[in-house]
């Protein structure tokens, strides 16, 4: 069984866009910009033998304010800049009740099945409570990047890091986080 690092996209790998004091995903390829050292962090994880799988909610598609093709273009650009192994996207809104939308673990479970991943030896790195919730639900060690935007966390992360690069150093240190 392989080990994986599941990564939220917006706010972990790339900058979020602030709108009305809330973080949101980039709405165009022009708004998409990697965070400092995020590519380096992912390359380090891959060299250490971890699969890197992006797990991202993109509800603006279901809400009709973002075209699926734009999300796909952004993800294609991400793959050009950073060698991730897989990208999983949930296009649903909360009210759709799907099993793939974080904090539910569906995307992690599907990726684990596809890639033969040992979830209990893997990590979920995210910047929001829903990422941490999905990681817990899947049985992964969870690392929060940043301050969580002041959101309430039903379950605390196992560790907190200032950036994906710092989170990758925690993971690679093999210390219990």
**Separation of alpha carbons 157 and 177, rounded Å:** 9
| Half-sphere exposure for 7 (CA within 13 Å, toward CB) | 32
Q: Which pLDDT does position 136 carry in this prediction?
A: 98
Q: Which pLDDT does position 94 carry in this prediction?
A: 86
Domains of the chain, each with CATH number or no CATH: 4-173 (3.40.50.1000)
**Separation of alpha carbons 117 and 94, rounded Å:** 27
Q: Which pLDDT does position 177 carry in this prediction?
A: 46
Task: Point out the residues that are catalytic.
Answer: 8, 10
Which residues make beta-bridge pairs with 101? none
Q: Which pLDDT does position 176 carry in this prediction?
A: 44
Q: Please list the pLDDT of the chain residue by residue as tens digits (177 residues).
A: 999 999 999 999 999 999 998 999 999 999 999 999 999 999 999 999 999 999 999 999 999 999 999 999 999 999 999 999 999 999 999 888 899 999 999 999 999 999 999 999 999 999 999 999 999 999 999 999 999 999 999 999 999 999 999 999 999 997 544
């Amino acid at each position: 069984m392989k080990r994986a690092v599941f990564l939220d996209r917006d706010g972990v790998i790339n900058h979020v866009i602030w709108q009305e004091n809330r973080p949101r995903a980039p709405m165009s390829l022009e708004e998409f910009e990697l965070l400092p050292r995020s590519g380096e962090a992912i390359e380090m994880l891959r060299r250490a033998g971890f699969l890197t799988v992006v797990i991202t909610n993109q509800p603006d598609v279901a809400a009709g304010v973002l075209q699926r093709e734009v999300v796909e273009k952004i993800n294609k650009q991400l793959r050009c800049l950073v060698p991730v192994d897989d990208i999983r996207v949930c296009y649903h809104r909360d009210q759709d009740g799907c099993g793939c939308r974080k904090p539910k673990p569906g995307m992690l479970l599907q990726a684990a099945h596809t890639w033969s991943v040992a979830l209990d030896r893997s990590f979920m790195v995210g910047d929001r409570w829903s990422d941490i919730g999905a990681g817990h639900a899947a049985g992964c060690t969870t690392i929060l990047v940043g301050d969580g935007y002041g959101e309430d966390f039903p379950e605390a992360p196992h560790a907190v890091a200032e950036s994906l690069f710092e989170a990758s150093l925690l993971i690679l240190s093999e210390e219990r986080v």
